[in-house]
Chains A and B, each alone.
Chain A
Amino acid sequence: MTNQIIPAVKRRQIIELAETGKRMDGRSLTDLRKVEIKTNVVEKAEGSATVKFGDTYVIAGVKFEIGEPFPDTPNEGVMSVSAEFVPLASPGFETGPPDENAIELARVVDRGLRESKLLDTSKLCLIPGKKVWIAWVDIFILDHCGNLIDASSLASLCALLTSKLPKAEVVGDEVKVLDEFVPVPLRAIPINVTLAKIGDKLFVDPSLEEEEVMDCRLSVAFALDDQKQEKICAMQKGGVGTLSFEELLRAVEIAKVKSQELRKLLPSGEK
């Protein structure tokens, strides 16, 4: 997708329209599209959520499994995020293993969730050094209409927020999984906002058309730390354009305001 021929006419159209503060779909440069969140959509998963940003449609599922911890963190559970760009989501998606875009997306979402310490992995340890809970977060892109990173981040987040962790009993060297559930141990909540740069303008929540003509994009994740202070927890520039230092700082300011807006949409009033 990164190597398409850029339609020059469309790019001019978008830039000229932006001079008047408007976009092709009628939004202002800083408007989000309509965001829809549904949780617990897949009963067999321990957690799940679908998110729509306009027509972009993403589903994320959470499954918990008992496994071995990483050698350098023997007392901590594991979170693993992966993404699949399934072919039905876009004519440009092909079957096969995740390509660089899917891998980048999964890793960017992962960093946002991980650095904010959303999942308290220290509370997922069963037998230190031997058995821990692994949280598998799998993202499926169902319809690609732009801004997959924000939709995927939000879907993963909401799936984890509404997940239930099976209750486990440790008996000697064995772990018995009971038929009860406990809430997933969570800490801070990260919110990711992506902006696209086209010409000298910054566009919040880029649509597919805007992504096709953009110079580059910047994704920023914000979370509140233990003292409820807002912090930046992840950032990723993507695309082959460049940003000036001034544009970078301006983009981060805009992203922060938008993240606060998105935060209000979270299920069960989580902050």
Chain B
Amino acid sequence: MKSGVFKIPTNFSARQLVVPGFLLAEGKYEAGPNVYKEGERLYSTVIGLAELRNNTVTVIPLRGCYIPSVGDIVIGKVVDVITTAWMLDIRSPWLGVLFAKEHLSKPLNVMKEDARDYLDVGEMIIAKVISFDRTKNPALTTKEQGLGKIQRGTVIEVDPTRVPRIIGKKGSMISMLKKDSGCQIYVGQNGRIWISGKNREDEALVAGAIKKIEAEAHTTGLTDRIHEYLIKNRM
């Protein structure tokens, strides 16, 4: 009688760089994000770092677009206005849609008002994704504490795959950034970050630090280096 489970070991070492089509493993493994399973074989679909978590084979992508998820906070830019809604570029393959009732406290009077009076093309908002499946455009809302039109500050863009590193484990990196810079920092899951500080210099400093994190995301000792960078340049 056999005890335990015999398993063919995976084809990669922890955090190994893999390319699309790389055979990650064979056998009774589960396919995590960016992995597809064909029969008993699991392949990577993107360039990334391969990982085994419990029984699931995952690839952490090094490049990729933002795929919306319900509950995500995103920073969007208005690109089109239709009668009762705004269409937003949220850096995903699909435009986000913000219906008037998800932004305004009272219904829009289409006879007297123009949606542009509230939000015009080019303006930016911080919003939450309230629904998404690939057959429809993601729907957004600003009707929550902390969401709405962005009036001041600096908005920068990073590769969406770097967002987890910018936030850090249990928020460690983002907390350190806020503390060291004295700025408010809102990280959109879609790779847009809103920095609001007392002055432009502080905002620019944070922007520089974030760009540095983006470039060095997969190196060791990063949190400390960023901390030093901020302290040194804040003088």
A and B touch in the complex (CB under 8 A): no
Q: Which residues of B contact A (CB under 8 A)?
A: none
